[in-house]
Amino acid sequence: MSYTGPGFEPPHPRRSRLRRPLVVAVAALVPGALAGWLVYAAVGDGGGDEGRAAVASSGAPTAGGTVSSAAPSPSSSSSSSSSGGPDDQKAPSPTPATPTPDQSASGPLKGKVVVIDPGHNPGNFQHTSEINRTVDIGTGRKECDTTGTSTNDGYAEARFTLDVSRRLRELLEAQGATVRLTQDEDRAYGPCIDERARIGNEAGADAVVSVHADGSGAGNRGFHVILPAVVQRGAADTRAIAAPSRELGERIAGNFVRVTGSAPANYVGGGTGLVTRDDLGGLNLSTVPKVFIECGNMRDSKDAALLTSGAWRQRAAQGISEGIVSFLRG
């Protein structure tokens, strides 16, 4: 979810065509997941910030892309990307009321509340003055939101995140969860990164996942999950959520490998698929377990081929969903 600045052009229509390594975590949580990926890679082309991870706790350098600042920055069950562009006539929506768990629901997640945070907004590029204003994230100030990145063919990250998030909502609701999206293309821009955190907090969410795709350099491939660092500064205090957020991230990472066949990023996180950051407002300001997932690199042609595939996006949503279910069921 590398971010483009105010000069970002409107997306063009898509042309057809751990501090504790995940090696241990995956072995404990999803036996054989990475081994399964190795087999997958041997017989086929396994592929697959707020932006690329600028500072990882592992100390691995970040390559390519631009640093994002969103919450790090299409249709629910269809295998094609959603259509429709930004609506300038829509005003930012007020924060909806706190969701009440659907007691009529059935399934293993009945009574659980999950907030899904689709990174960016398709209309952000038309509201640069609004998204460029800064907000307090505890460790400093950052832009309200960013435009996100895109593939070289113009498939916007904001479209990708909405599509995967809608698919994810459908899967989780089928498990009995009460699901809320921070935005569903129902507002002109945003929400700002502090509001994105507040939505999860006020919902009393049992888990929050922010969905993104990275914009790093060509050749940088794979996914990574961003975990909140332990932060206690200003409005930010992640001491109570750092550990459960790590568990959530580990479970999502293990299941994402298993379901999609994608490898952990080869350019950040030291091959673990996990990165810890203290500069993302969406994590710093959260009071409930929350992680970001960068599903792949939109600027690499091989990863882009996956990210623009409806069938692969469905697998991505399935992998994230199974990680959330695993976390919530304990």
Structure tokens at 269: 């996180």
Neighbouring C-beta atoms of residue 26, cutoff 10 Å: 26
Amino acid at 137: I
Of 59, 56, 77, the residue nearest 294 (C-alpha): 56
| CB contact at 8 A, 242 and 291 | no
Neighbouring C-beta atoms of residue 59, cutoff 10 Å: 7
Helix (H, G, I), strand (E, B) or coil at 290: strand
**232-233 vs 236-237, strand pairing mode:** antiparallel
Catalytic residues, by residue number, are 294
Helix (H, G, I), strand (E, B) or coil at 241: coil
Rg (CA), the chain: 18
Cα–Cα distance measured from residue 229 to residue 287, given in angstroms and rounded to the nearest whole number = 13
Residue count of the chain, please give it: 330
Segments of 147-231 assigned E as strands? 178-181, 207-214, 224-228
